[in-house]
């Protein structure tokens, strides 16, 4: 667990070093209409991480219970297939 916390701290420090001096305009600039800005990427990471943190905390505390969908073997494959299909579709749109 200490390794994980250390790695998270390193990534956070690196992000601050790399992006900390950018203006709001630079953070929100999008290279194209179909691209995300740096700010949108960070927002996505924050929202996604906030979804996982409660589950991670429950695992650490030993109180985590699998829900119905986590017991279905195809569910993770379904997500992977959907992501691959979206990626392929996005490449074809370019």
* Predicted TM-score of the model (pTM): 0.58
Domain boundaries, the chain: 2-67
The answer to whether residue 21 scores a pLDDT higher than 80 is yes
For residue 17, what pLDDT is reported? 96
Interval 15-34 mean pLDDT: 96
As a whole number of angstroms, the distance between CA 69 and CA 78 comes to 11
DSSP state of 20: T
Q: What is the pLDDT of residues 43-86, one digit of tens each?
A: 999 998 888 888 888 888 888 887 776 666 655 566 677 777 77
As a whole number of angstroms, the distance between CA 56 and CA 4 comes to 12
* Cβ atoms of 37 and 27 closer than 8 Å: yes
The token pair at 9 is 């701290």
Q: What is the pLDDT of residues 27-44, one digit of tens each?
A: 999 999 999 999 999 999
Tell me the three state secondary structure of residue 63.
coil
As a whole number of angstroms, the distance between CA 73 and CA 34 comes to 33
As a whole number of angstroms, the distance between CA 72 and CA 60 comes to 23
């Amino acid at each position: 667990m200490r390794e994980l916390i250390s790695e998270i701290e390193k990534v956070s420090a690196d992000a601050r070093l790399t992006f900390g001096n950018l203006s709001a305009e630079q953070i929100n600039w999008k290279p194209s209409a179909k691209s995300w800005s740096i700010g949108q990427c960070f927002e996505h990471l924050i929202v996604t991480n906030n979804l996982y943190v409660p589950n991670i905390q429950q695992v650490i505390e030993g109180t985590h219970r699998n829900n119905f969908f986590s017991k279905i073997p195809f569910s993770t494959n379904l997500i992977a297939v959907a992501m691959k299909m979206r990626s392929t579709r996005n490449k074809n749109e370019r």
